[in-house]
């Protein structure tokens, strides 16, 4: 194998505007590995990136792909040769929509034996996001009640299962078609299309909820804040409501950050965060890597022992990336759309 195939995002395009490109397969440098991708995914980040709306995306053109699972093919100088042939996972932000990817060896996390590539892929960025929001930000405890927006989505579906594992009562928003599946997970569903979310949550939790996880952004953020009980925590981690808006890609996030700073200054015992999975990497890389490895290992263990179940919405090859992106953006699927070589 002397070449690799990758998907290039040339600019602000419709999904059909994504380009397939072949180029020579590079050799790993010192401290690096070459990974043969087995599964990567379509996340909300790529949906924003193709619109030029992800707040810190690189300039066009670039190869999207937020995470991957694959097998190490070759290792560079200074890397344990025993890593070759191992299945690993990695968080990349960009670059994973390719048949082969060069990574720093320090950034890869072993995937447990017996865990399939596609199954593991559903739990990389989605699992890390869910785990860290639940346990590192909100610090949920058994007996508490939380509200999860988009409880059927890639992050939401893992978050509700991890919360149930922790003995937490979950209220989740989703369209009607997903309610029965959510009930089987122990979630009390709310139809965000037809029900008044705030009124319904107040019926279910008159004193307020202990945490809200909000990927919607926009007007949903202050509404979520108002649903917190004293001592509660709001974790905002996206701006889905503004995905199709024109204008600055930073402004929706800056508005959320401004609200978070204001609310945290108030003497009401509540907390707010804007969650960024990359926080801390730029100034404490080793600590970031250690935390990522620790948390993703916990998620993989829960996936392997059946505590949480992988939600693969669809499997499509890189050559059908436009179809995969359309499907992920449709809002009709539960779980994650996975791309394979």
Assigned CATH for 124-274: 3.40.50.720
Say what the pLDDT of residue 251 is: 85
pLDDT digits (tens, 9 = 90+) for 122-167: 999 999 999 999 999 999 999 999 999 999 888 999 999 999 999 9
């202990």: which residue's tokens?
A: 210
Mean pLDDT of the chain: 94
Residue range 285-302: average pLDDT? 96
Say what the pLDDT of residue 1 is: 65
pLDDT digits (tens, 9 = 90+) for 3-45: 999 999 999 999 999 999 999 999 999 999 999 999 999 998 9
What is the DSSP code string of 130-199?
Answer: HHIIIIIIS---TT-EEEETTTTSHHHHHHHHHHHHTT-EEEEEE-GGGHHHHHHTTEEEEETTTS-HHH
pLDDT digits (tens, 9 = 90+) for 189-231: 999 999 999 999 999 999 999 999 999 998 999 999 999 999 9
Residue spans in the chain of domains classed CATH 3.40.50.720: 124-274
Exposed (0-12), middle (13-18) or buried (19+): which is 34, by Cβ within 10 Å?
A: buried
Residue spans in the chain of domains classed CATH 3.90.180.10: 3-111+311-339
| pLDDT cut 70: percent of the chain above it | 99
More confident residue, 111 or 335: 111
> Is residue 334 very low, low, confident or very high in pLDDT (cuts 50, 70, 90)?
confident
* 273 φ/ψ angles, rounded to the nearest 5 degrees: -140, 150
Characterize 307-322 residue by residue with b for buried, 16 or more Cβ atoms within 10 angstroms of its Cβ, and e for exposed: ebebbbbbebebeebb
User: Residue 56 above 90 pLDDT?
Assistant: no
> Is residue 283 very low, low, confident or very high in pLDDT (cuts 50, 70, 90)?
confident
In 3-state terms, what secondary structure has residue 309?
coil
What is the DSSP code string of 159-174?
Answer: HHHHHHHTT-EEEEEE
Assigned CATH for 3-111+311-339: 3.90.180.10
Say what the pLDDT of residue 148 is: 98
Residue range 248-255: average pLDDT? 84
Cβ atoms 33, 74 nearer than 8 A? yes
- Ranges of beta strands (E only) in the chain are 3-8, 19-24, 32-42, 67-75, 87-91, 100-104, 108-110, 145-148, 169-174, 187-191, 209-214, 228-236, 271-274, 312-317, 336-340
| pLDDT cut 90: percent of the chain above it | 86
Residue range 262-278: average pLDDT? 93
Q: Which of 86-90, 134-138, 265-269, 320-324 has the lowest mean pLDDT?
A: 265-269
Say what the pLDDT of residue 178 is: 92
Distance CA 221, CA 4 (A): 42
Distance CA 167, CA 18 (A): 43
> Is residue 339 very low, low, confident or very high in pLDDT (cuts 50, 70, 90)?
very high
């Amino acid at each position: 194998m002397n070449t690799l195939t990758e998907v290039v995002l040339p600019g602000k395009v419709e999904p059909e505007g994504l380009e397939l490109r072949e180029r020579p397969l590079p050799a790993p440098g010192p401290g690096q590995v070459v990974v043969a991708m087995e599964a990567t995914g379509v996340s909300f980040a790529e949906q924003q990136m193709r619109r030029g709306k992800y707040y810190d995306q690189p300039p066009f053109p670039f190869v999207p792909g937020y995470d991957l699972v694959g097998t190490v093919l070759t290792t560079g100088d200074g890397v344990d040769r025993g890593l070759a042939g191992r299945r690993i996972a990695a968080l990349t932000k960009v670059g994973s929509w390719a048949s082969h990817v060069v990574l720093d060896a320090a950034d890869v996390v072993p995937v447990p034996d017996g865990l399939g590539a596609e199954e593991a892929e559903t739990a990389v960025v989605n699992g890390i996001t869910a785990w860290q929001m639940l346990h590192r930000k909100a610090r949920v405890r058994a007996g508490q009640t939380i509200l999860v927006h988009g409880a059927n989505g890639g992050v939401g579906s893992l978050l509700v299962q991890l919360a149930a594992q922790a003995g937490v009562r979950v209220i989740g928003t989703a369209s009607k078609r997903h309610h029965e599946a959510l009930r089987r997970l122990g979630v009390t569903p709310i139809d965000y299309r037809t029900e008044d979310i705030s009124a319904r949550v107040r019926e279910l939790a008159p004193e307020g909820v202990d945490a809200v996880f909000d990927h919607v952004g926009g007007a949903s953020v202050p509404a979520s804040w108002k649903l917190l009980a004293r001592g509660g925590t709001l974790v905002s981690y996206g701006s889905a409501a503004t995905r199709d808006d024109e204008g600055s890609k930073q402004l929706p996030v800056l508005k959320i950050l401004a609200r978070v700073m204001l609310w945290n200054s108030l003497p009401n015992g509540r907390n707010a965060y804007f969650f960024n999975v990359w926080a801390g990497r730029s100034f404490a890389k080793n600590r970031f890597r250690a935390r990522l490895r620790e948390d993703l290992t916990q998620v993989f263990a829960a996936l392997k022992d059946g505590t949480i179940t992988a939600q693969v919405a669809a499997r499509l090859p890189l050559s059908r990336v436009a179809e995969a992106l359309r499907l992920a953006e449709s809002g009709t699927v539960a779980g994650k759309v996975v791309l394979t070589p």
